[in-house]
Structure 1
Amino acid sequence: MDVTYGLNAYKTTGQLLKLDILQSKAGWYIGTIDHDGPVSRESGYYKTPQAAYDAMRAGNWEQHLD
């Protein structure tokens, strides 16, 4: 599977959804979204959207397993 797609999203929905930077009350994270809203959280939380983006771009983030 391509690392630009969400592993948790694929496991739970069978959809290949591109990774994006999303926000929840707990902080910013790398996750996936579809037309209905957020689908999966793929990473831990970051304090800023830039920190999450930098980790995703560099590929040095850890996959969160549901």
Structure 2
Amino acid sequence: MVASYYQDRIVVVNYARASNEKKTTKGCAQRSIGRPTFWNLVLDLLLRTMNNMGVCCDVFADDVVLDI
């Protein structure tokens, strides 16, 4: 089931009456019941690694900002 979240996914961008689609293999499906869990699993490793490197960052919702 988890693998199915990452198969055959596309990103659709609508702008100025035009639409463009592209396949994606990154990120977590929006509005997915597993999204918070996946986000925590992915971000935990990233934040621990950055902390060990002495890099500060802020995380909110689905955004990561590096504090340089």
TM-score tier (shorter)? under 0.3
- Normalization by structure 2: what TM-score? 0.24
With a CA cutoff of 8 Å and minimum separation of 6, indicate the structure with the bigger relative contact order.
1
- Normalization by structure 1: what TM-score? 0.24
Larger radius of gyration: 2
Question: In proportion to residue count, which structure has more helix?
Answer: 2
